[in-house]
Structure 1
Amino acid sequence: MKKYIFNTLGLGLMTAMTLSSCSDNFLEEKKNYDNVTPTEVYADYTGASARVNDIYAWCLPDANAEANWKYNCTGVKDEQSKSTEEFSGFTVFTNPQQEMSVANGNVPDYFQNTLNNIQASVWGRIRNINDCIAGIEQGTLSESQKNELLGQVYFFRAWCYYQLVKWYGGVPIIKEVQDVSSDSYTPRSSAKECIEFIVEDLDKSAELLASKGGWSGSDWGRVSAGTALALKGRVLMLWCSPLFNRANDTERWTSAYNTMKQDLTTIDACGYGLYTTSNNVNGSDFAGQFSQIQSKEAVFVTLYNNLLSGDGQKNNSWERYIRPKNTTGSGYNASAMLVDLFPMSDGKIPAGSSNYTLLERSDSASTQTDIHNYPFMNRDPRFYRTFAFPGVRWAYNGDPTVQNANNPSYNNGQNYELWNYVWYTNTSDAGDVESGNDYGADNLLSDVCGIYVRKRSDDYDVNGSPLYNFQSSQKQGFAYSAAPYAEIRYAEVLLNLAEAACGAGDLDYAVEQLKKIRARAGYTAANNYGLQSNLTSNQAACMSAILYERQIEFAYEGKRFDDMRRWLLFDGGANFKNIDGAPASWTLTGWGGNTCTWLGITPMNGQRRENMEYRTADTYGVGGTTYDSDPLTKAGVERCAAIDLRKSDLHSQEEVLKKWYTENLVYKQKKGDSYDSNKVPLYINYLPRYYFLGLSMGAMNNNLNMPQTIGWADRVGSAGTFDPFTGE
């Protein structure tokens, strides 16, 4: 019989293993522990700290990795982000032509991964944490030293379990290192027991770290009592949300609200808060928080460095992912769906949007309708910090011409303007939404995106001391960046609290939190921060506004897919009855039996994500395949001034660019999600059983006793029987 928990590496080896693999300041100290015993390790504060640093190295989120068993989604273009409005392209979760199933072998394995490699196993991480907890508790350190170290480790055990429970509901709860034996088996617990276990660990973490407050100096970035309570708030919102709270138990909301409101005092006392400066211009504070090494906004953070090589190198690749090819980057193409959804400058949802109908009251819907031909006109300040379009300044510091002599220098990037309009080589392609024969200006050519993701960019106009080490000589460009990744921002703390308050019925307090977020973005009380007047009297409208704010505030930060799952936004939760074997208790009875209807949000199922671009007008004819065959350049057309976000006169700049677009460019829809073999458009189809993920074949083969979740086939093809709610 295969064993569920296993022993792979000894303690002494583990202590020495990862000290050179992370670059956070507090992880860079090195000491050789190859030849010491476990007892000696935990008798020495430096050795015990090394073990804790090892936990950090295994468990911290990774801004460069696609979501998998070890890493949560951090905004890269992975299977989870592509299942939201942010990117187009079907995934295993949304593909209408192939169901996700054990038989098809396409079920993501976030439960087990590789059995016999402790570093590549979900439960290997947890075993490592339990081993560390036992070692510290049984060691000879002082009580204060033990508390400081254990507080950090308990947080990461809760973090690992949160990642499991949000996918599987009830999972095995393992608090101790288990002996290696054939009967070493722990059954799946109920979802409630798992949530309680996570909250218990986080409360313990906060209590042990309470006297520490926030960290500073070389220890900045470690988890604190505030970090633990912030994660607890996220866990409580998971438990209150329709995914786990099918009957909308209001006592759950009230308990969570009271707890989170009290916890905010501790979070604030640790030094966390919204990142703001005295010179917020066109959303520059919103942009600036992502290029601050020690921003108070970052409640749970992974640090990076810009070392070119050597021991401790740990670079963040995000800047390289999103920057255009003619700056040595790659470029992320934003979905037109999300571009269209962003608020207008008055804070309102664009008129005619079909996605948030409860936010389209007469006092909320903007009068601006032409968001396709001129997407940059009169938008929320965060729009310009999230997307980049033809005719906008996006400065950096580096020489791109070494990589390609035809790249425009723009004074070594410091005056860089994005002109990513395109042309076609024949007129039939110009009108074909499927044609990929488009060529971008300024040597972008075939490596062009219609609308670029700009979010989390280290903008030279915002941060004059870039965190990246631009390497022109090695043709690496932005490959070496020290930009931190904040998994939990203070803005999320406030929006989690707003959600709890709304669910508990304190709509006034919920709206107060929304106003704080919008004030940082640049809105004022003059128009009620762009919020409609009925949010304090209509719970559904208030909750819809909170989810909308989350979608905008956290775009491309890896949060949207989790929000869509926990609020059942793919189908409103109306189809649980279609799951084979689903008990009556799975039926959504709260929120009128359909969260989408209650929230006034269009279900994601049945929709498509398209892309968009701006091509040269027909009057200029077609172009060629080289950088110097731009039809506008050949016609002698001069470019207007690009929008410069450093300048406060944004609207006048927009008008200039709008006139230039009118004269020279044409909006074009581009195919996003795929078509079938007959070129018939396909539409998103997220099945109701996906809300609780089934175990993959590998996970079941690694443990023959582990029951499969209801709605999924087990290893021999029989129907799963495990109910994540009851644990039976």
Structure 2
Amino acid sequence: MKRKNIKTLGIAFMAAVAFTSCSDQFLQDKKNYDSASADSYNYYSGALARVADIYMWCLPDATAEPSWKYNSTGLADLQSKSTEEYSGFGAFVDPDAEMTYQSGNNPVPDYFQGQTGNIQQMAWGRIRNCNDVIAGIEGSTLSQEEKNELLGQVYFFRAWCYYNLVKWYGGVPIIKEVQDIVAESVVPRSSTKDCIEFICDDLNTSATLLAPFTENGGWPATEFGRVTSGTALALLGRVRLLYASPLFNRKNDIERWKKAYEDIGNSISRLNACGYGLLYESNPGVNASGWASMFSQVQDNTEAVFVTLYNTNTSSSQADFSKNNTWEHGIRPSTALGGGGKTPSAMLVDMFPMADGKRPKSCTTYTMIEESTHSGEKDYPFMNRDPRFYRTFAFPGVRWAFSGDPRSEKSRNPYNGTEYELWNYVWYTSAADRDNSESGNTYGADNLLSNAKGFYIRKRSDDLDVNGSPRYVFDASNGFRHSASPYMEIRYAEVLLNYAEAACGAGHMDVAVEQLQKIRARVGYTSTNNYGLQSNLTSDQQACMAAILYERQIELAYEGKRFDDLRRWMLFDGGTERVDGAPDSWTLTGWNGNTCNYLGFTPLNGQRRDNLEFRVQNTYNNGLGGKSWAIDDDNDPDPLKDYKQMRPDAMDLKIDLSEQQNELKTFYETYLVRKEKKGDAYNTDQSVKYMHFYPKYYLLGLYQGAQSANPTLLQTIGWGDYMNGGANGTFDPLAE
């Protein structure tokens, strides 16, 4: 590719997503360039601006809630709160609030339409932009090399937009050309099969066009973040896997698994040619430090197959448009001047593997996964865990360093950032609160007080101990808000996990196990005990598939992937509940008619997620603690204030944990006790409520606004049809 083209494309692209110094007027105006003249595409700079516009409107955003525009990225959103990762009844699992198609009546999330009449605020506006750019470039006088370079990227994003529709709705309208904005420009829903093939065709086209530019090591370093042929093939694998999964493959058609296996297998070498691979594969570091560092690494991050970049700029008045990743701020405790932290559910904390790679004995979710030889020790969850546990969660008595000083005269925080220790044990000011799982009258040590979380999510943290050059700018007013850590929507580990799942489904369990071994070797497991994997995975397809889904849950935790996996495999009920009006073809006949039984997985329906904390034992909390520091003295409200000298050094993940965890356990045994905290809601009479995912949620219905905007759209079976007086929908997403 011509060097001048690389440089020019890099500048315009980076302007669009705010990477480097250049004019930011393009982003500030947030223009839509549909009105660009045909002649503007004849200039490389003009075509480039339109491609940059596509990037701006289509890239995932780690700071945004899921919507018609953005997918889940691991925030405590309504999708993630419908998984084991968070508690709190996301809309999809609230047992008392069944969603409908109707406005004002607990409406289903609208991932299909967006804001009608505003091309920049609707899903189909993004697709229209892609079609406009494709037509403009194809009809231009640019060289074929220039056309291929630009078109390859746009075909990827058109496929990305369609994937995010099809995974929810099945068949949707296929629109390949820019339509006139007239009433007659309406297109009915196509079959899911046709949509899948359309997406895959676009991705194959993208990969073919981009191959000459990217399969010689990838783009130059200055162009990091642009999609490649490997990006297109990785998404192709995800799409093939979706179509092979029980959600769309109720009969377990083996040909779909074979196609996914073939396509993903063929893509691996091409991804490698683009420079992708498991980061720190040959050097996992201490306690999975290499794995932890990849979430803040940009340069030479071979893991980042599809990535959104951010910067540390503070306002749009700077040379670059401000685009900050606020994840770091959100997960950090208040005494570190963070946003207060995010709380994981106790369910996921207790599900994480033990140090031998097996499930804890107290976890009965995956019955086909062998139990660990280590005791579960729920009262000391930091004991003998998978290395990723310590990089995913933070708990009382762990070091969590950062670059900055949060101390002030009034903060009473004893730690500089470089020595920050988290001691978030709690106490109560009354005996009634102390023994009440619903009480929120909690106060935390080291001036966390009412801002304490019982456990913290640490995943994707820019930890000073693994990244000595932080990607955030810390200050007393904004904490970690101005962070440039990337968000990886597709990383190489997911590609290997997709390959493992497709291989298992196609009957190649040996290939599947090889991928699991690679994933685990990267975090420190060795061949000594088969990387912590049980011996029957190459011979038992059911156990192998269960192990793959378990590994996905751990490896990809808090990255926005779990809800899609639960839907794909129908793990809320095993696929046994019947959708009103569904034909017999919707009945799950593969996997012995129940995916949960097939995998040995406990259905999520009928369960609840609570949280956990470690409170001061009654022996030391009988006198109860205070609520705050006195302004004019040093009266520490912590009931353990006279015993703080008994704290061991906080667990330091830079060194071996064996002795450290035993010392911390002794402190817990002496002074703390585990307490379950209310996560999911209670009924008004204080009886507990349990998750319930209605079967019609597996394939979403259209919100009434979408049908109103396009009367030809048929409603999905199981949902009320706005154009037919609320009668049951007639569109079958499973029909071919």
TM range (shorter): over 0.9
1:395 — aligned with what? 401
2:354 counterpart residue number: 344
CA distance in 2, matches of 1:67, 1:708: 22
Distance 2:42 2:721 in 1: 47
Q: Is contact 1:90-1:684 (8 Å) kept?
A: yes
**Are 2:379 and 1:373 equivalent residues in the alignment?**
yes
1:392-541 aligned at under 5 Å gives the runs 392-402=398-408, 405-411=410-416, 413-472=417-476, 475-541=477-543
Q: 1:63: how far off? A: 0.4
> What letter is aligned with 1:323?
R
Deviations 1:72-106 (A, max 9, x none): 00001100000000000112100001111124242
Q: Which moved more, 1:684-693 or 1:269-278?
A: 269-278
Alignment of 1:386 onto 2:392: yes
Matches within 5 A, 1:41-80: 41-80=40-79
Cα distance in 1 for residues equivalent to 2:602 and 2:106: 31
Q: Residue 47 of structure 1: CA displacement?
A: 1.5
More displaced, 278-287 or 379-388? 278-287
Do 1:327 and 1:407's aligned partners in 2 also have CA atoms closer than 8 Å? no
Per-residue CA deviations over 1:670-722 (Å, capped at 9, x if unaligned) read: 11101101111000000111000001122222222211100000112111111
The residue correspondences of 1:65-144 to structure 2 (distance < 5 A) are 65-103=64-102, 104-144=105-145
Corresponding residue for 2:146? 145
Structure-2 separation of matches of 1:369 and 1:427: 31
Shift of 1:17: 12
Deviations 1:465-519 (A, max 9, x none): 10001122xx101010000000000000000000010001010010000000000
Q: Does 1:726 align with 2:725?
A: no
CA distance in 2, matches of 1:691, 1:631: 49
Alpha-carbon distance, 1:22 to partner = 2.5
Q: 1:26 to 1:582 in 2, by over 3 A?
A: farther
Match of 1:559 in 2: 561
**Alpha-carbon spacing, 1:174–1:636, altered in 2? closer, same or farther (3 Å):** closer
Structure 1 pair 617–35 and aligned structure 2 pair: CA distance change class (3 A): closer
User: Cα gap change, 1:464/1:28 in structure 2, threshold over 3 Å: closer, same or farther?
Assistant: farther
Structure 1 length-normalised TM: 0.94
What's the counterpart of residue 579 of structure 1? 579
Q: Percent identity?
A: 59
Cα 1:407/1:236, change in 2 over 3 Å: farther
Q: Which amino acid aligns with 1:344?
A: M
Once the two structures are TM-superposed, the CA of residue 617 in structure 1 deviates from its matched residue by: 1.0
Helix, strand or coil: the match of 1:480?
strand
Change (3 A) 1:147 1:18: closer
Separation in structure 2 between the aligned mates of residue 36 and residue 87 of structure 1, nearest angstrom: 44
2:285 aligned with 1:290: no
SS of corresponding position for 1:470: strand
In the alignment, is the contact (CA less than 8 A) between 1:19 and 1:29 conserved in 2?
A: no
Q: State the alpha-carbon separation in 2 of the partners of residues 624 and 684 from structure 1.
A: 36
Q: Distance in 1 between matches of 2:22 and 2:456?
A: 34
Give the equivalent residue in structure 2 for 1:9: none
Letter in 2 for 1:513: Q
The SS at the match of 1:79 is: coil
Within the candidate set 610, 626, 631, 2:628 is matched to 626
Aligned partner (choices 359, 363, 379) of residue 353 of structure 1: 363
Letter in 1 for 2:425: Y
State the 1:44 CA deviation: 1.1
2:260 is the counterpart of 1:256: yes
Distance in 2, matches of 1:703 and 1:29, equals: 36
1:645 pairs with 2:653: yes
SS in 2 for 1:54: helix
Query: 2: CA distance between counterparts of 1:128 and 1:265?
Result: 32
Structure 1 CA distance, aligned partners of 2:392 and 2:210? 36
Aligned to 2:7: none
CA–CA separation in structure 2 for the residues paired with 1:35 and 1:549: 44
Partners of 1:314 and 1:666 lie apart in 2 by 42
| Compared CA separation, residues 26 and 701, structure 1 to 2 (3 A) | farther
Greater displacement, 619-628 / 220-229: 619-628
The 8 Å contact of residues 26 and 218 in structure 1, kept in 2 or not, is answered as: no
Shift of 1:26: 9.7
- SS of residue matched to 2:585: helix
Cα distance change, pair 196–26 in 1 and its aligned pair in 2 (3 A): farther
The structure 1 residue matched to 2:705, chosen from 695, 698, 704, is 698
Rounded to whole Å, the distance in 1 between the matches of 2:487 and 2:644 is 44
Structure 1 letter corresponding to 2:616: T
CA distance in 1, matches of 2:620, 2:178: 71
- The answer as to whether partners of 1:301 and 1:486 remain within 8 angstroms in 2 is yes
Q: Is the 8 A contact 2:427 2:443 kept in 1?
A: yes
Correspondence 1:598 to 2:594: no
Q: Deviations over 1:304-358 (max 9, x none)?
A: 0011223411000000110011111120011000000000000111013210001
* Paired residue type of 2:407: T
Kept after mapping to 2: 8 A contact 1:22/1:313: no
Q: Which amino acid aligns with 1:220?
A: F
1:301/1:484 contact within 8 Å kept: yes
Contact 1:340 1:371 in 2 (8 A): no
CA contact (8 A) 2:356 2:373 kept: no
Q: Which residue of 1 aligns with 2:315?
A: 309
Deviations, residues 435-460 of structure 1 (Å, cap 9, x unaligned):
11110111111111111000000000
Conserved in 2, the CA contact under 8 Å of 1:85 and 1:338?
yes
Q: Deviations over 1:97-121 (max 9, x none)?
A: 1111124242100000111111110
Match of 1:24 in 2: 19
Whether the 8 Å CA contact 1:92–1:106 is kept in 2: the answer is no
Cα offsets for 1:359-402 (capped at 9, x unmatched): 1xxxx311333432100000000000000000000000112235
Contact 1:162 1:235 in 2 (8 A): yes
- In structure 2, the partner of 1:568 is 570
Q: SS of the residue aligned with 2:681?
A: coil
What secondary structure does 1:469 align onto? strand
Does the Cα contact within 8 Å between 2:14 and 2:20 map onto a contact in 1?
no
Residues 85 and 337, structure 1, Cα contact 8 Å, conserved in 2: yes
2:275 paired residue number: 271
**Cα displacement string for residues 511-546 of structure 1 (whole angstroms, at most 9, x for unaligned residues):** 000000000011000000000000000000000000
Which residue, 296, 312, 334 being the options, matches 2:344?
334
Q: Tell me the distance in 1 between the aligned counterparts of 2:35 and 2:438.
A: 63
State the TM-score, normalizing by the size of structure 2: 0.93
Distance 1:426 1:224 in 2: 59
Pair 211,423 (structure 1): closer, same or farther in 2 beyond 3 Å: same
Alpha-carbon distance in structure 2 between the residues aligned to 1:248 and 1:153: 33
Which string of whole-angstrom CA distances, capped at 9 and with x for unpartnered residues, describes residues 606-656 of structure 1? 0000100000111112101014200001456531111000012x1110000
Count of residues paired in the alignment: 701
1:187 is displaced (CA, Å) by: 0.6
Aligned equivalent of 2:38: 39
Query: SS at 2:472's partner residue?
Result: coil
Match of 1:12 in 2: none
Note the C-alpha offset of 1:172: 0.2
Which amino acid is 1:373 matched to? D
- Equivalent residue of 1:212, what SS? helix
Q: Which residue of 2 aligns with 1:238?
A: 242
Aligned to 1:7: none
Match of residue 280, structure 1, among 269, 276, 285: 285
